[in-house]
Amino acid sequence: MKIKLSDNQLNQLKSFLRDFDDAEQLSEREYVADLYDIARPVSLDLVFIKGAVAVDGAAELKYDAEQDGWYMGERLENVEDVAAALREAGALAP
């Protein structure tokens, strides 16, 4: 799935990911990020392409108190759910 973004939004998202402690740059265009501090925590694999960001993977993150750790939950398949998570995390302007 792809999220179409303006150049300004793409730069904003890239800047957020570069500075975000729970994001890792895998290549010049690809980042993985775990957004723990939103209502529905998610893990994302994002690839920057011309005029958009491709979502190569997206899943809910669930916390297991007994194991004291996070695990992957249900996949996110709706582009608006991913965009909403990025907005809530402050990665994209509302």
Q: Where are the domains of the chain?
A: 2-89
Geometric angle at alpha carbon 81, from 56 and 68, rounded to 5°: 80
**Residue spans of alpha helices (H) in 6-78:** 7-19
Residue 4 C-alpha from the chain's centroid: 14
Tens digits of residue pLDDT in 29-73: 999 999 999 999 999 999 999 999 999 999 999 999 999 999 999
Tens digits of residue pLDDT in 11-24: 999 999 999 999 99
pLDDT number for residue 32? 98
pLDDT number for residue 94? 76
